[in-house]
Every structure is written in C-alpha cells, then in structure tokens.
Chains A and B, each alone.
Chain A
Amino acid sequence: MADIVLKIEHLCKYFGATKANDDLNIEIPRGAVLGLAGENGSGKSTLASMICGIQKPTSGKMYLNGQEYAPKSPVDANAHKVSMVLQELGVVGSMDPVLNMFLGRTKQFAKGGLLNLNAIKKEAEAQFEKWNLTKVPMTGVAGNMSIEQRKVLELARALSIDPKFLILDEISQALSHDNRKVLYDFIKKFTSPENGGTILMVTHDLEEMVEICTHISVLRDGKIIDTRRSEEYEMDELKRLMIGREVSGDYYRADQEEIYSDEVVLRVEHLNVPGELVDINFELHKGEILGVCGLSDGGIHSVGPALFGISEHRTGTVEYVPGKVQLKKPLDMIKTKGAYLSKDRDKDGLMLDASIGQNISVPNVRLLAGAAKFLSPKKVNDLSQKASVDFEIKSSGLGQVVKSLSGGNKQKVNLSRWLVQDLDYVILDCPTRGVDIGVKAYIYGVLKKMKESGIGIILISDELPEAMGMSDRLLVMKDHEMAGMLSRTTDFVEEKIVEVML
C-alpha cells in the first residue's frame, strides 16, 4: 500500500454562494508530483491556499502523514514542513532579498534580541547552493529584481523551512527556458527517495505537467473530475476534461509559411540600452508576427520597454515607418496606433484596485474625448462593455474590481484595453503567462485575427513552442544581442533554435 503523505477528505471552500472547492477527495503518495490541471477559476489556487494555511476550509478534513492537519496560518503549515510558492503574492519589494527569504522567521537568527545578519545571508546562500538554484542578486531591494528572479527567490524562501511537502503554484510560467530546466532538476532532486519530498504543482503548461508530474488531478468548477497517473493521459483528453468540451490539438498556427506584407510598420536600428541590449536591428511588417526568444538572461524582456521608450539611456532609432515618426517616448507609440503589454501585468499593466471598466477605459480616453475634451459617460461605458463582451471577460459586471478576477480574466482585461483600439502594431511580452489552456487558445485566436487584419505583432515569449507556433520570423537573442533571425518557412526546428540560443 502506498505511503500517503496528504489525504484530503470531502474538502469544501465556499465564498458566499460561490463553491470554489466542492467535496474534494485526494490522496497524494510520498515522493509524488501531483499536478492540478484546470481552467482559471477552477479552484486550484484555493485548494493550494488551504493546504498551506492561508485560507480555512468551510468543511472537510485533511490528514498529513496520517495525523489530522488543519493549519491555522502559513507559519503553522511551515511548522508541519509544508511550504508554498504562491501564484500572485511575491516578495516585499522595499526589502532586501535576504530578509525576504526569512520573512516571518527571522527570530531563529536572533540572539539577545539582535539579528545576526551574516548568519541570515549565509543561510540564504546555503539554500541556493543546496538545491542548485540559479543565483539571484542578494544586495539592493527585491523590487528591482525581474519577475523570474523574484520567483526563484520565492522558491528559495519556500525551501528554507526544509519542507517535506511543497506547493508550486504556477511558478514555471515566470521562468524562461533555461531556468525551467533548473526547476525540473530541482523537482527530481526534491522528490528523490533521499530527500523524500512531495510536490503539488499547479501549471497551465500541460506538456510540462504530463512530463514532470507523476499524477494529475483535473479540477473543473471546484470539483475533481479525474485523477490518474500522468502517463495514462492523452493530451487531447486532458484538455477536454479541463475545459468540458473538445479543444483542438493544435491551437497554434497551422501553416508553416512566413506570410506577411512587404510594407514595413516598425524599423529598429542600432537599438542599445546599457547593460540590457546591444545593437538590435530589425523590421516589423504589416501582418507579421515577429517572435522574440532567448535564455533568461538573454535580454528579451528588455526589448519591449526599449521600444516603448521607457528604458533609461536608450540609443538608436525606432521608426514608425508609415508616418515617418521616431518613437522616443510612450506617447509616440500610442499616437502612432501602437501598444505595449509588459510581462508583469499586475505591476506594470493593470490598476488592480480599480474596476474592469476603469481599466479598459483609461488607455482609451483620448480616443473617446470630444472636441472640447469632455468625456461622454455613455461612450466610455459602451467601449468598456464592448471590450468585455468581445474578450469574454467572466465577471459580475464592469464595476468588479480587477484584483478579484482570476489570472486569465485579468489578462483578458489587460489585452482588451489595448486591442479594442484600431492598432497598426503591438508589442506583447508573454501575453499567455499564467493563463489556462482555454484562455491561451483564445489569445492565439485573437493574434491570428490581428495578423489577418494586417497588424504587426512583436511576440516576446519565454515559451519556445509558443514562439515557434505563432511567429513568422523568430528573433533569437543571446547575451543581450541578436543571435539570429530565423524563418518559419525554413528554420523552425527546436534543436536549431536552441543551438542559436546557446
């Protein structure tokens, strides 16, 4: 009989009339990696947050190593050797990374009331060393770190309590190709018989889930639909179980041709940002999807801010060719029918405490303003309503606060607020980060329509299959420079692209 680490019996979590988790029953064997598959809002994060003591169940029981387990708080969960890397919450940006790692647990380093900062730093470094995690800067404040570095820091923080049960909630979505490999190696090591760890993993990357997890539970509308060993799942079956309807196996582009107009929309020449980009040159054509990919430290996420005009000390030129306009600041891009969506939608994109309507209308007020610059409330409301309907945002109405939406719906708001405009070109940095397969398929559908209508798209992506699946050409970056420009017609082979990356 399998050695069961965590047993969940009839677990329910209700928020008013909403059943976030409804009568869940799971048994997780020691050393397993259990993947939770489900759409945004299916209840995966709620389950994870109950296991790690952030939320309390409405009813039902949990047993950890055979003992009843009802954590009162995350600290209580930590005391039971249960730890978690959260999907949304991260680090305290105004504090240094080392203190962030031991937040809430600094007392163990205090002697006579005084903290031993050297001991904290040594312990932090030891965690990175022990699990072979990619090093992150340990000086300065955590707010200056990239999303990827913050996620690695959060993982190191979760590991610093020496957990035996670890919950990873959408961590890989923030990681690039090379750091995902580091994560997978870590998972193997953590769950090996020597370490005896067990992992509950939430990810929207189904290929990754089938590859990495030993077991998969499918959640839909707060209920567990199915649990099996991962090798027993066919990909299309898994998608169907998640969504509740058939989802085509291929949601990327079906064609293998580099197809776009000869007309150039954007011309980028000798683009440099000290320490971030070195001599980037390319042209974006009408109706082209230009993918940008590379390793984590390759500089791909510096491209968007540099084009948008928010990078410090940028040199070189970015020209909107149809209007012969040099793009130097964000307003230049907006005036030339361009848009930019950053990777960190919560920090740089959305106003989380504002309503859906406000989020959608703010970037569009210039378009809606009359001759005397007055805004018609009806026009504003109509536009927000249209965007909400077009992008199928699931909400209680335009007045709902964005913070309370699921990840996928947040991303739909983020996309819709720009894409509702009549655009000529758009820069999208990881537009499918943290969204489920249904929303992913929807976003790819939107990209295909945009391409057909002649909009030039720069698609910056950490996911190689996505970049390959959607792009006409692929700009591969290495060490902040262009390592190659590959064509969909002749060069889109994973091995070839990885070779250019490395």
Chain B
Amino acid sequence: MAKTAKKGLFSSMTAVRLLLLLVFIVAIVVMDAITGWKMFSFSERGLNNGIYILRQCVFPVCVAWGMTFIFGSGLVDLSIGAQVALGANVGAILAVQAGWGYVGLIIAPLVVIVACELAVVLCSEVFKIPGWIAGLGCGLIFEAILAIWSASASKSLGSSVINLPKELKVLGTWPWNVIIMLVMFVIVYILQNRTTIGVELKAIGGDPAVASAVGINRRKALIVAIVIGALCVAVGSICYISYGGKVEGSTGLASLTTIFKALAIVMLAQSLNSFVSEPVGVLFAGIFIMALVDFMTKLKIEAGTLQEVVLGAIVVICGVLSRIGYKGVAK
C-alpha cells in the first residue's frame, strides 16, 4: 500500500511562497518608509503613485511574458526591442495616416512582431545558427528599416515615424492598460501551466532530445511558442505607444535598452521559478522592479547609471539565492 504523507497546515512550498510574499510586501513598505511614505501618495491630479507604478509595469511585464515563451523554447532572441519599435510605428501609421484607427493600432503590431519573430526563427532553423546570433542579425535589420523610414518622415518626430493623437491613446491610460495586463496574466498563466502548449514548450526548451523522443513535434511546438510570445510582446508594444504617444527607433542594437527592464524581470522571475511559476514570477518581479525604479527616482538616483547598477545587483542576488542547495558538479 502506498503511504500517505501527513500534511500540516501548509505544505513547505506554500510556506516558502507565503514567505516570499511577505518579503515582497516588507520590501515595498521599507521603500515607502524611506521615501517618507511617498510611494503611495496622491498626485495633484488625484492619481495614486501606486497606480503610476502599475502603469509603468504594463510594457515590461507583457514583453517579459512574451520572452518566457520565446526564451523558454530555447531561442534567446535579442531583437525584441527593435521589433517593438517597428511594430508600434507601423501600427501608429495605419491607425492615423491610413485612418484605420484602433484596428490598425492593434492588428499591425500583432502581425509585424509575429512576422519578425518568425523571421528570426526561420533564420536560426534554416541556416542552423544559434538563436542569439540570428536575433542580433535580424535586430540590426529591423532597426535599420525603422531608421530609414523615420528619416523620410517629419524631422520634428526624431527617430519615430509618427505621434499618436490623444483619442487613440486610450489603451495606454488607467485603468485600461492595467486591465490589459491582468487579462494577459490570466491567459499566459493558463497557457503555460494548464495547457498542452505550455507542457510541450517547457519540454522542448528543457531537453529537445527527450521531447522529440516522446513524440513532441519540436518544430511545431517551437513555432507555436514563438507566435504566442510574439503576440505578448505585441500587446506590450501597443500599450507602450499608447502610453507615450510615440516610440523612438534606434540603431546599433541600442533597441536592447528598450527591453532591459523586461530582461531583468525575466531573470528575476527565473530565479524564483523553483517556488512560483514563471507567469506569477514575472508579475511580481515586474511590480517589484518598477517600484524599485520609482523608489530610486524619488531618492534622486539617476536613471542610466546607479539605477541600472542596483537592478543588476538585485538580479544577481536573486540568481545566487535560487541556486542555494543546487546539487551538481561543475564540468
């Protein structure tokens, strides 16, 4: 007969999760206290700063969810920043100049980013080159396309192609952008944890040889994962341009800076994935990192230097903590 383990009030995993939640809350409270309780204060326009933090989360968190699908399938694609800029600008052009309104604003980034991501996969699979090299190569091309395009557009727009008018920016405003993020969370959570797609994605990312041996069609699973990931990135891109009104392009792979926070969120979430599933980890890591950025801004720590140092250090520390107890031999 099988023995049934006696359960206490909580399983050890639940206890660890509760502890993590407690650490998260305490960290936010400590940051709030250090800023003189300004992190949840109301602005002159009556908007709570906590909501501002949540709004700031939407873009990097959506992109980070996309990355969990793309990176999870084994493809480390660093052209995502360039895809975001290209997709957002094509969407804005169709929305404003072609007069398609929200249809253009939503459909175009979805199509463009899925197409870009498939181009990267195709490049990697057909030419048998590592995904990160294919991604960097394609990223340079995507950046160049936007740069050439924006050069022919109005000079007043800098390196972006077009500015969104106010009536097309609703998806970037409270509460719609946060609602979009929460809906995305539910979809991503279900896809990754409760569907065959999620299981096959983890299998091909974890061990492609075993996945193939048990009959998983690696290429099909890869394409599905990439398309879903690209769709998540596209949603982030739509919210991004709707929030700021325009997305500037860049060259020389400077588009990587657009996704730095999303990358930090993914790394932080991965360091926690022994305790919580990645979609949940991404959400909490996103809120934590954006709260940290807000906290540092309130302390007048400059963006671009010390803020990134702190973010980098947090990611490294979480990585180290997650490896405690790892059993293995360095080859």
| Pairing of A with B | yes
Contact B205 A94 (CB under 8 A): yes
**In the complex, what residue of chain A is closest to B331 when comparing beta carbons?**
A351
Task: Tell me the bound Cα distance from A310 to B215 in angstroms.
Answer: 36
Contact B206 A94 (CB under 8 A): yes
Contact B195 A103 (CB under 8 A): no
Task: Tell me the bound Cα distance from A48 to B206 in angstroms.
Answer: 25
Contact B2 A144 (CB under 8 A): no
Contact A305 B190 (CB under 8 A): no
**In the complex, what residue of chain B is closest to A92 when comparing beta carbons?**
B206
Task: Tell me the bound Cα distance from A308 to B329 in angstroms.
Answer: 10
Residues in chain A near residue B327, CB distance under 8 A = 144, 305, 312
B-contact bits for A98-136, CB 8 A (1 contact / 0 none): 010001111100100111010000000100110000010
Contact A113 B214 (CB under 8 A): no
Task: Tell me the bound Cα distance from A91 to B328 in angstroms.
Answer: 17
Of the four ranges (under 10, 10 to 19, 20 to 34, 35 or more), the interface on chain B belongs to 20 to 34
**In the complex, what residue of chain A is closest to B11 when comparing beta carbons?**
A139
Residues in chain A near residue B9, CB distance under 8 A = none
**In the complex, what residue of chain A is closest to B273 when comparing beta carbons?**
A94
Residues in chain A near residue B190, CB distance under 8 A = 114
Residues in chain B near residue A144, CB distance under 8 A = 327
Given contacts A90-B210, A93-B207, A310-B329, contact A74 B195 (CB under 8 A): no
19 extra interface residue pairs, beta carbon distance < 8 Å, beyond A86-B213, A95-B202: A74-B213, A89-B209, A90-B210, A92-B202, A92-B206, A93-B207, A99-B199, A104-B203, A104-B214, A104-B216, A105-B214, A107-B196, A114-B190, A114-B194, A114-B195, A135-B2, A141-B274, A305-B329, A348-B331
Contact B215 A73 (CB under 8 A): yes
Say how far A231's CB is from chain B's closest CB, in angstroms.
35
Q: What is the interface of chain A, defined by CB distance below 8 A to chain B? A: 54, 73-76, 78, 86, 89-95, 99, 103-107, 110, 113-115, 117, 125, 128-129, 135, 139-141, 144, 157, 305, 308, 310, 312, 342, 347-351
Residues in chain B near residue A103, CB distance under 8 A = 199, 203, 210-211, 214, 216
| Interface flag for B325 (CB, 8 Å) | yes
| Interface flag for B13 (CB, 8 Å) | yes
Contact B196 A110 (CB under 8 A): yes
The contact sample of 26 A-B pairs, CB cut-off 8 A, is A74-B214, A74-B215, A75-B215, A91-B207, A92-B202, A92-B211, A94-B205, A94-B206, A95-B199, A95-B206, A99-B202, A103-B216, A104-B211, A106-B200, A113-B195, A114-B190, A114-B195, A115-B195, A117-B194, A310-B328, A312-B325, A312-B327, A342-B329, A348-B331, A349-B329, A351-B331
Task: Tell me the bound Cα distance from A110 to B190 in angstroms.
Answer: 12
Q: What is the interface of chain B, defined by CB distance below 8 A to chain A? A: 2-3, 13, 190, 194-196, 199-200, 202-203, 205-207, 209-211, 213-216, 274, 325, 327-329, 331
Task: Tell me the bound Cα distance from A89 to B203 in angstroms.
Answer: 13
Contact of A92 among B3, B194, B203, B274 (CB under 8 A): B203
Which 4 residue pairs across A and B have the least CB separation, nearest first?
A: A75-B215, A104-B214, A92-B206, A94-B206
Contact B194 A115 (CB under 8 A): yes
Contact B202 A94 (CB under 8 A): yes
Task: Tell me the bound Cα distance from A497 to B200 in angstroms.
Answer: 46
Contact A139 B206 (CB under 8 A): no
Task: Tell me the bound Cα distance from A73 to B205 in angstroms.
Answer: 20
Say how far B188's CB is from chain A's closest CB, in angstroms.
14
**In the complex, what residue of chain A is closest to B215 when comparing beta carbons?**
A75
Residues in chain A near residue B331, CB distance under 8 A = 348-351
Contact A89 B213 (CB under 8 A): yes
Contact A78 B215 (CB under 8 A): yes
Contact B2 A129 (CB under 8 A): yes
Contact A139 B328 (CB under 8 A): no
**In the complex, what residue of chain B is closest to A141 when comparing beta carbons?**
B274
Task: Tell me the bound Cα distance from A99 to B196 in angstroms.
Answer: 10
Contact of B328 among A76, A89, A107, A348 (CB under 8 A): A348
Residues in chain B near residue A348, CB distance under 8 A = 328-329, 331
Task: Tell me the bound Cα distance from A117 to B193 in angstroms.
Answer: 9
Task: Tell me the bound Cα distance from A350 to B329 in angstroms.
Answer: 11
Given contacts A114-B194, A115-B194, A144-B327, contact A93 B206 (CB under 8 A): yes
**In the complex, what residue of chain B is closest to A344 when comparing beta carbons?**
B329
Residues in chain B near residue A349, CB distance under 8 A = 329, 331
Task: Tell me the bound Cα distance from A114 to B195 in angstroms.
Answer: 5
Residues in chain B near residue A114, CB distance under 8 A = 190, 194-195
Residues in chain B near residue A310, CB distance under 8 A = 328-329
Interface centre among A115, A128, A129, A349 (most CB of B within 10 A): A115
